[in-house]
Amino acid sequence: MRHLSLAIALLVGTALSAQNAFLNNSFFPRYWKANTDFLIAARVRNSNSTPLISFHVDWRWNNGPVQIGNWQSTTGITGNQYWPYEHQIPFNQPASAGVLKVWVVGSGDTDPSNDTLRFTVDVIGNWATKSVLIEQYTGTWCQFCPAANGATNVLDVDPLIVVAKHHNLDEFTNQNSTDYWVWFNADYSPAGVMEQEEFGTLQDDAAYDQWGARAEQRKLGVSPANIAVTAGFSEWTRLLTVDVNTTMTAVVNGTFIVNAYILEDNLPGPQTNAPAGYIHQ
């Protein structure tokens, strides 16, 4: 009986200390070009204190064949460490729609519940150039916001990057922005949300020094629609009219919603940790 009890204790101890591999910082466009390569990449991480030494990443498109990645050996991943992994077989499919599954296989990993990322993708034969939406939660009371504001001001110069700033309980707050921002559960400033958190595993964060690189990555995707906007303003009646025309470039299924912002720009006003005469852009 003593030997049996010891064996059970050893097995339980091994299970509790097993490696637990997972993936993050992976991105795949919601819409991608037919018959065109896209590199599948992710960061391999380990949520357990036992080092993750060997692993590989696989992917599968719908019910197609599993594309097995090359084994990678390291000195051991724990804590905040990660390993950037690039799959040797790029995603390249004819026009179709479905789910791309990407998962990590770790040597010694006994918990499969957090191994897999899933991306809903439409692969289309005709497309339009894509713009990237960056939304920032800023505040005049926020001492760290001037630097983040400066970063998004630079990004906004790019015609393919659209920046919208929502104000967090300050002089420029409006109820529409406040109600809208609740959806993101990002009640801090500065906060940045890219593409409404819909694409990839990137959630809201304050890492404004990384927003530019992430936006460039998302510009790689394409759009299934061309949007034309015609605006007019009557100074006499102070009435703003906007006509929006959307033309689909490919057959896609689902419900599509057109969002419109009215953005004020170049507003002088107070700002903590900024010089006098600060301009809100």
The mean pLDDT of 165-194, rounded to a whole number, is 91
pLDDT higher than threshold 80 for residue 198: no
What percentage of the chain has pLDDT greater than the value 70?
A: 93
pLDDT digit string (tens) for 85-114?
999 999 999 999 999 999 999 999 989 899
Bridge-based pairing state of the strands 72-77 and 52-61: antiparallel
What is the fold, at CATH topology level, of the domain defined by 2-125? Immunoglobulin-like (2.60.40)
Q: Among the listed ranges 15-24, 32-41, 64-73, 209-218, which one has the minimum average pLDDT value? A: 15-24
Domain ranges of the chain: 2-125, 129-222+269-280
The yes or no reply on domain 129-222+269-280 and CATH 3.40.30.10 is yes
pLDDT in the model for residue 122: 95
From 204, 186, 188, select the one nearest 134 (Cα to Cα): 204
Strand pairing partners for 163? 134
pTM: 0.83
pLDDT in the model for residue 5: 35
